[in-house]
């Protein structure tokens, strides 16, 4: 009996978070997008995270940048 994928299988798309994981691996980055990081945390990353949390920057960032840099009618960080 020959096995093959169903026609519906071609409709399956890779999730965006998985695509980001693959891109992160491709460029040798540190993946903070999913799961638990299994590498030692670089000291500057931990220090930066602590400083941000202590400063009250503790929520998900807007896709178009931090609120402090957002310009109404514009996109991203202020110049």
The answer to whether position 28 is within a domain reads: yes
Tens-level pLDDT at each residue, the chain (79 residues): 788 888 888 888 888 888 888 888 899 988 777 666 677 888 998 899 899 889 887 766 555 555 665 555 555 444 4
Q: What is the pLDDT of residue 78?
A: 46
Provide the residue range defining the domain that includes 33: 14-55
The answer to whether position 77 is within a domain reads: no
- Are 58 and 52 a contacting pair, CB within 8 Å? yes
pTM (2 d.p.): 0.35
The answer to whether position 70 is within a domain reads: no
The answer to whether position 18 is within a domain reads: yes
Q: What is the pLDDT of residue 32?
A: 75
């Amino acid at each position: 009996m020959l096995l093959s994928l169903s026609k519906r299988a071609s409709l399956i798309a890779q999730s965006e978070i998985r695509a980001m994981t693959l891109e992160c691996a491709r460029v040798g980055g540190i993946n903070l997008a999913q799961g638990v990081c299994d590498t030692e945390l670089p000291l500057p990353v931990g220090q930066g995270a602590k400083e941000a949390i202590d400063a009250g920057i503790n929520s998900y960032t807007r896709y178009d940048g931090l609120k402090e840099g957002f310009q109404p009618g514009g996109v991203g960080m202020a110049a």
